[in-house]
Amino acid sequence: MAEINSDIYQAKAMLDADHLIGLPTETVYGLAGNGLKAEVVSKIFAVKNRPHFDPLILHSHSIGAISEYVIEIPKTAKILADAFWPGPLTILLERNQKIPDLTCSGLDRVAFRIPKHPKALSLLKILDYPLAAPSANPFGYISPTSSVHVQQQLGHKIPFILEGEISEVGIESTIVGFENGETIIYRLGGLEVNAIERLVGKVKVLPHSSSKPDAPGMLKSHYAPRKNIILGDIEKLIEQNPESKIGVLSFSKFYNNVETSLVLSKTKDMHEAAKNLFSHLRKLDESNVDLIITEKVPSEGLGKAINDRLQRAAVRE
Ligand code: TXA
Ligand code: MG
């Protein structure tokens, strides 16, 4: 058996004692705890200040382990799981009674994902329960892509953060489910829609508009910095705000006429852009600017998910 670092055993000891930990994954860092115990899951909601109607994702290490908690794994789900797990894909499945209502906010389906991060996967393999893990940020704020982000915001509330370097993908998993024979995308994310469609044909992407969502976490104002943020034509917005100390977050172009200019990817690489998105937004939020100006990226590949996050970061309700 491959050697397992002692920090992974430390994480296991914490989790077995019903504590929460910061968990590195390839998408974003999670706030993880035993997903089968309502009292542990309840702590997750409390630490994040998250409303109980917004269900959690369970993380496991194998399809075999997941099948213990669901009524069935439909054929399309199996195709996607075989192709993309471990990876940035979450699948909604009909749950059985082993999963507490609180984990799924009382819904009939449970969200499952097998993460690819080697430490997360090693940890899950030595646990005998799945881990409930929402992104490790206070509800509504920008998701964390490094242990430092988790430490800054939740460090005082949790006893342990498993160090896992910077999240490779940088945005949350893509969430799929099935209704009346149709494959539905409930949240755009780190797995491209095209990759899914190549295997299972046309899918329906649900718009993220409602404020009491059926697929929660789809609240309009989400992933939001505390500073004012406007999405649009960067040059025009700079001109229209001559009094402001501006921070720009652009796709690829550097702006030298503002206080701070951060670029998602100089070479227009969507994977690099996704990886930088949340940490750049955080940097601008923590800097001395008083207005963040950003723009949409081309709507291809991961660009769709990046635009979804930017749009919701910029909405104020
Ligand atoms: O990449 C990710 O998915 C990360 C890492 C840590 O794995 N986790 C994550 O969790 O983004 P969170 O809690 O921030 O988002 C979970 C979202 C919910 O807001 C909801 O939209 C959806 O997953 N979800 C979970 N269970 C669901 C269910 N039964 N029905 C519909 N949507 C569900
Ligand atoms: Mg989240």
- CATH code, 233: 3.40.50.11030
Ligand 2 centre distance from Cα of residue 56 (Å): 9
Q: Do 237 and 130 share a domain, yes or no?
A: no
Which among 70, 175, 222 is the best mutation to test ligand 1's pocket, defined by most ligand atoms within 8 Å of the CB? 175
Which ligand sits closest to the CA of 29?
A: 1
Mean pLDDT on 213-219: 50
Q: What is residue 317's predicted lDDT score, i.e. its pLDDT?
A: 45
Q: Do 192 and 241 share a domain, yes or no?
A: no
pLDDT surpassing 80 at residue 90: yes
Closest CA to ligand 1's atom 13: 134
Q: What is residue 2's predicted lDDT score, i.e. its pLDDT?
A: 57
Q: Do 90 and 144 share a domain, yes or no?
A: yes
Q: Do 187 and 241 share a domain, yes or no?
A: no
Ligand 1 proximity of 278 Cβ (cutoff 6 Å): no
> How many C-alpha atoms does 290 have within 13 Å on its Cβ side?
5
CATH code: domain of residue 85: 3.90.870.10
**Does residue 221 sit within a domain?**
no
The Cα 110–Cα 132 span in angstroms is 11
Residue-range definition of the domain harbouring residue 253: 228-314
Q: Do 15 and 154 share a domain, yes or no?
A: yes
Ligand 1 proximity of 35 Cβ (cutoff 6 Å): no
Which atom of ligand 1 lies at the shortest distance from residue 189's CA? 1
Ligand 1 proximity of 15 Cβ (cutoff 6 Å): no
Q: Do 103 and 248 share a domain, yes or no?
A: no
Which atom of ligand 1 lies at the shortest distance from residue 27's CA? 1
Percent of the chain with pLDDT over 90: 91
**Does residue 218 sit within a domain?**
no
Closest CA to ligand 1's atom 17: 217
Which ligand sits closest to the CA of 58?
A: 1
Tokens matching residue 205: 């992407």
**Does residue 299 sit within a domain?**
yes
Q: Where does the chain have alpha helices with state H?
A: 6-16, 38-48, 63-66, 75-84, 118-125, 147-154, 193-200, 234-240, 270-286, 303-314
Tell me the per-residue pLDDT of 221-271, one tens digit each, with 9 for 90 and over.
677 888 999 999 999 999 999 999 999 999 999 999 999 999 999 999 999
**Does residue 75 sit within a domain?**
yes
pLDDT surpassing 90 at residue 216: no
Q: Do 10 and 143 share a domain, yes or no?
A: yes
**Does residue 18 sit within a domain?**
yes
Ligand 1 proximity of 93 Cβ (cutoff 6 Å): no
For residue 257, give the nearest of 273, 241, 268, 281 by alpha carbon. 241
The model's pTM: 0.95
Which atom of ligand 1 lies at the shortest distance from residue 137's CA? 14
Mean pLDDT on 38-65: 97
For residue 32, give the nearest of 152, 121, 109, 141 by alpha carbon. 121
Q: Do 126 and 269 share a domain, yes or no?
A: no
Q: What is residue 210's predicted lDDT score, i.e. its pLDDT?
A: 40
**Does residue 217 sit within a domain?**
no
The Cα 206–Cα 204 span in angstroms is 6
Q: Do 194 and 237 share a domain, yes or no?
A: no
Percent of the chain with pLDDT over 70: 94
Mean pLDDT on 60-75: 98
Q: Do 120 and 244 share a domain, yes or no?
A: no
Closest CA to ligand 1's atom 3: 173
Q: Do 169 and 242 share a domain, yes or no?
A: no
The Cα 57–Cα 112 span in angstroms is 6
Helix (H) or strand (E) holding 183: strand 182-187
Which ligand sits closest to the CA of 143?
A: 2
Ligand 1 proximity of 223 Cβ (cutoff 6 Å): no
Number of separate domains in the chain: 2
Tell me the per-residue pLDDT of 8-18, one tens digit each, with 9 for 90 and over.
999 999 999 99
Helix (H) or strand (E) holding 22: strand 21-23
Q: Do 185 and 304 share a domain, yes or no?
A: no
Q: Which of 205, 238, 257 is the last residue of a domain?
A: 205
Q: Are strands 160-161 and 174-179 parallel, antiparallel or unpaired?
A: unpaired
Ligand 1 proximity of 217 Cβ (cutoff 6 Å): yes
Considering only 138-142, 186-190, 205-209, which range has the smallest mean pLDDT? 205-209
